[in-house]
Chain A
Amino acid sequence: MANVIEIENLSKEYDDFFLDNVSFVLPEGFIMGLIGPNGAGKTTIIKLIMNLILRKSGTIKLFGLDNREHEVEVKSRIGFVYDNPNYYEHLNLKQIKNIIAPFYPTWDEAEFKRLVEKFNLPMKKILKKFSRGMVMKAAIAIALSHHADLILMDEPTSGLDPVFRRELLDLLYQLLQDEKKSILFSTHITSDLERIADYVTLIINGKIIFSRNKDEVLENYALVKGGNDLLNAETRKLFTGIRRNEYGFEAITSNLQETKKQFGDQLVYDKASLEDIMYHANLRENHV
């Protein structure tokens, strides 16, 4: 199976932030969610993939091609949606479409019209009068109208109502019926990912914590609770984001089998959601 995105040892340095040797791959035909707290580096990764910002080191291959050397070629196969698609507000959707469409050789006018009708978007109303959800729908309609093989979205669901979020996720899921399409999107709303993602990449403070199959993550990670007496230098290695209080501790384990083998019934095991994993991975040891 070919990889649509191959990122290797990617670094980017700002005054107050360092993206540290990030590596992951997205195979063709799958959805990957990029999760992490604010300022973790999600948008930086997406911007680097789109070559909007320059990398310090590392390689990014899209469809097997370097994203800088073959910039035009790879971008014509990407549908990109910003977290805040700040289009010209004094123009209407038809004018925006007329500006963008000529740059895509594979632009499909019929598909654009179909999506505009599906999303109930007015073509002749200026964008200033669109709600945030409508602007996001317009951005998605534009991104999907040139038969992109890879859809890249930066926080597409933030600020949207649950109904449209659900619609969007359904739409993305339908897109994958065409097995050649792949999707990478960053989000804070981890429940969205649990619904549709095949792969999850967790990034914190510019470092990749993991990039794995979602089902594997949910099978191997667990939320554990137990007495403080069970914690020592050796056992701590099994846990991430230990939260302690006078009654005991709560943490995440990334190796459920090994933890069960070591502690058996001494710990309480709960299923960990992606939000739990993100929270505990971000948490340093906390004495309450």
Chain B
Amino acid sequence: MFDLIKKDLVVGWIVLLGITLLIPFITSIAIMAMIDDFGGLILGVFGLITFGLCLAGAFLFISVDTVYEADRHLVSLPLKRSKIVIARYLSMWLCLTFNYSLVILSCLVAVYYFNQSDPLLDRLLTWRGIFAPYLMLIFILLYMLPFIFKFSTNKGTLIAVTTQAVLLLINPAHQLLNKWFPELFAFDFTWILQKLQAVLQWLSQQSTVSIYAGIVILIAGVAVISLALSIRFYNRRDI
């Protein structure tokens, strides 16, 4: 397992170097530009930059394997396919964590070195503010990886991103259609939102320890399901 992760580092060091230079640069410029031009950080834009850079960096990291069809070589080695899958999960998680650390580091540099203060940035730089997007990134990664092992890096990424985009667009699309054709699209989603709000309300009443324990259990559960699916898909895939 360690040898496979080491392989990823040897093969993808140039990508890592690029990420190390690019992420702090883009993040810092984005923070400065937003604070200077708009008087503060815009959560939507900043979130998009952060998520985009971290995920794209992690996928770029394994893109070297895609270019050189590394699966052909890896599967011909005396290795169980499940080990290849687990190693790729770990490599991508490490890369994602590294990328996200660079984003946080850039935020810290902006606040403490360039003395750029912003209420949103201050909230982002708390433990909760740091870990909430990080967990979200891990969820997205765990969601995307089974698609990649089912199909291939390119096709799998495309399908995973498309399905996420579709999920994100369901609510605005429904609202728009409801506005244009009220008699055709009369289905009311508000009860789902009410349920969600009730869940959030219930969560806010729980102790911090219980919430963290719940998050850990949830992440672990999603990780196990994602890994099991990926191993199953990869075991049944023609290389």
- List chain A positions with a Cβ less than 8 A from chain B: 47, 50-54, 71-73, 75-76, 80, 82, 85-91, 95, 98-100, 102-104
Contact = CB atoms under 8 A, between A and B. Distances in A.
Interface stretch (B20-28, B72-80, B177-185, B211-219): B72-80
Nearest to B74: A103
A75 B74 CA distance: 11
B170 interface: no
Contact of A86 (B14, B64, B72): B72
A52 B238 contact: yes
Highest count of chain A CB atoms <10 Å: which of B7, B69, B75, B76:
B76
A50 to B, nearest CB: 5
Given A88-B64, A89-B68, A102-B3, A52 B76 contact: yes
A76 B236 contact: no
B72 A52 contact: yes
A80 B77 CA distance: 9
Q: Which 4 residue pairs are nearest across A and B when measured between Cβ atoms? A: A76-B78, A75-B78, A53-B238, A52-B239
A233 B154 CA distance: 55
B24 to A, nearest CB: 24
B238 A103 contact: no
22 contacts: A47-B238, A50-B75, A51-B75, A52-B72, A53-B239, A54-B236, A71-B78, A72-B78, A75-B77, A76-B78, A82-B72, A82-B73, A85-B73, A86-B68, A87-B68, A88-B11, A95-B10, A99-B3, A99-B7, A99-B10, A103-B3, A103-B78
A91 B13 CA distance: 11
Interface of B: 3, 7, 10-11, 14, 64, 68-70, 72-73, 75-80, 236, 238-239
Q: Is the interface of A mostly helix, strand, loop or mixed?
A: loop
A47 B72 CA distance: 10
Given A86-B68, A88-B11, A99-B7, A71 B238 contact: no
Contacts of A53: 238-239
Nearest to A105: B78
B74 to A, nearest CB: 9
A91 B11 contact: yes
B4 to A, nearest CB: 9
B14 to A, nearest CB: 7
Contact of A50 (B14, B76, B236): B76
A85 B73 CA distance: 8
B68 A88 contact: yes
Contacts of B75: 50-52
A5 B180 CA distance: 68
A234 B73 CA distance: 51
Given A52-B238, A98-B10, A71 B80 contact: yes
Contacts of B73: 82, 85, 87, 100
Contacts of A47: 238-239
A71 to B, nearest CB: 7
B78 A91 contact: no
A104 B70 CA distance: 17
Contacts of B238: 47, 52-54
A88 B75 CA distance: 15
A281 B79 CA distance: 39
Contacts of A89: 68
B231 to A, nearest CB: 14
Nearest to A73: B78
A163 B115 CA distance: 69
